[in-house]
Amino acid sequence: MREKGLSKNYNFICKYYNCLRLFLIKKTIISFLGILVFLFGVISIIISCDVNNRNEVPRDFEIVQVGEFTDKLLLRWTESTDPENSIVTYDIFIKEDIEGTTYLLEKGGLIDSSFGSNGNYGGFSINKPSTRFIFSYPILNLEDGKNWKVKITATDQEGNRKEIVIKATTKVIVQIEPLEINYTIIKQPFPEFSRVGHTVIEFKNKLWMIGGRNGFNIYNDVWSSEDGITWVQITEQAPFGVRYAHGSFVHNNKLWVIGGLDFSNTSGGVLKDIWSSEDGISWENVSEKLPNYAGEHVVAFNDKIWLIAAKGFEYYEGILYESSDGISWAKNTSFGVNGYSYPEDLKVYDNKIWIANNIDANKTLTVLNPLINERKTYKLPQGYFNRSSQQINLIQDRLVVLFGYQNQTPLKDVWSSVDGIWVQEKSFDYGIYNHKSVSFNKKLFIFGGVTSSIYNRVFNENIIIIE
């Protein structure tokens, strides 16, 4: 009986012990899980605090253009902004692209306020998109014909940095020799050739002179010549009426006359009619709806007519139009709407449209390439005087800019260019402005114009030939 009681007590103790052990194990597990949850919470808080306190690097930016010149590089890059809205500072470094060379600081500490309202620095103006600024900076006084590495860094106030490295090359300075040009003067062939505001153009292997004025005498005559020297008057009074400062061009195998001025009529002087002819003798009135005030600043190229018209009488703001038939005209915005203020001459050369700007405003030529919708601006050379009423044309396959006037004084210099490299040619005997020039039979002919002060006009009665 005693053994049976002991066995019963033993079983009770074992059962109690197992229950106690199970209880302790469960409690331990629960405590451990609680500790894990606590530790996870602490770690989460730490990570969250670290993330909140972490300062991010400035956002990505990119170099959108590198202008390569003989003595400088013009850099254009997009704005880099900081996620925490702190100030971003730009530093520019450069080195010659040779192994072992080190970067030198070109300019440091550039911030938004370092640039002008158009993102320009150092006089180089550019556009800015509506979404991001584009900054511009020129690296000057570089040696020509060298390969360079340029690094731009964007750094926030906490020292976080993004950088871009690009390669660029300064162009080799190319010298060109002046042409062996000669001048021939055909003296006073016809008194009627003493005029301004006329047009001279090649059509069907002949030269054609149309309209113009001398003082208060305004013409609507048409002349033609097979050699540029001997001329025949086709008509003294063409049906399109008297006019000057008009335009003439060849399009669809026809000779065209458009717009211009005639202050002797009652229409306010501004003409908006368009005429064409298949032979220079019989003329058809195509339209009476020339856009705005327009005329002499027109060329035909790539099966279209390209016209720079003005909002008003004076060409303070020009608008580019195009037409395939001379009847329907549309504004062309492929090259930008504005920027054609006060053009002096238009010519087609090297499959591009060249615009001689008013050089009193800036010494540049604007070049439009309709084949790829590209617009460029070319600087004229040092030593080229500010001027108005100059002409652009061709001599011996070179682009030339010639004559014009400055401060009411006619100029007689001539400049030629090969791939943007300019050289001054032999000057003429006297200065001329408001003349017309045309390339014909490998020669450059100059007709009309004024040879004295604009306040005491003496008209050029001679034909000048440059070859």
Q: Are 238 and 262 in contact (CB under 8 A)?
A: no
Tell me how far apart the alpha carbons of residues 216 and 60 are, in angstroms, rounded to a whole number: 65
Residue partners of 11: CB distance under 8 A and separation at least 6: none
Task: Sketch the domain layout of the chain as residue ranges.
Answer: 63-169, 183-466
Tell me how far apart the alpha carbons of residues 245 and 286 are, in angstroms, rounded to a whole number: 19
Confidence at residue 6, expressed as pLDDT on a 0 to 100 scale: 47
Which DSSP string do the residues of 366-435 spell out, in sequence order? EEEETTTTEEEEEEPPTT----BS-EEEEETTEEEEE--EETTEE---EEEEETTEEEE-PPPSS--BS-
Tell me how far apart the alpha carbons of residues 385 and 408 are, in angstroms, rounded to a whole number: 13
Confidence at residue 240, expressed as pLDDT on a 0 to 100 scale: 94
Confidence at residue 115, expressed as pLDDT on a 0 to 100 scale: 66
pLDDT per residue rounded down to tens, the chain (467 residues): 444 444 555 555 555 555 555 555 655 666 666 666 666 665 666 555 544 556 788 989 888 878 888 888 888 888 888 888 888 889 999 999 988 889 999 988 888 766 655 555 543 334 454 455 778 888 888 988 899 999 999 999 899 999 999 899 988 777 788 888 899 998 877 767 788 999 999 999 999 999 998 888 899 999 999 999 999 999 999 999 999 989 999 999 999 999 888 877 655 678 889 999 999 999 999 998 888 777 778 899 999 998 887 765 554 457 788 899 999 988 887 765 455 555 678 888 888 888 876 654 556 777 788 877 777 777 777 667 677 778 888 888 888 888 888 877 888 989 888 877 788 899 999 989 888 999 999 999 999 888 886 656 678 888 999 98
- What is the rounded (10 degree) CA torsion for 395, 401, 407, 411? -20
Q: How many residues does the chain have?
A: 467
Ramachandran bin of 446, using left for φ above 0, alpha for ψ from -120 to 50, beta for the remaining angles: beta
* Host H or E run for residue 104: strand 104-110
Residue 365 burial (CB count, 10 A): 20
DSSP summary character for residue 142: P
- Residue 184's Cα: distance from chain center in Å? 37
Confidence at residue 421, expressed as pLDDT on a 0 to 100 scale: 79
Q: Are 293 and 284 in contact (CB under 8 A)?
A: no
**What is the third-level CATH fold of 183-466?**
Neuraminidase (2.120.10)
Q: With respect to CATH, is domain 63-169 assigned 1.20.120.850? A: no
As a three-state string, the secondary structure of 54-95 is: CCCCCCCCCEEEEEECCCCEEEEEECCCCCCCCCCEEEEEEE
Tell me how far apart the alpha carbons of residues 450 and 195 are, in angstroms, rounded to a whole number: 8
Q: Closest Cα to residue 380, out of 321, 423, 410?
A: 423
Flag whether the pTM goes above 0.85. no
Confidence at residue 123, expressed as pLDDT on a 0 to 100 scale: 39
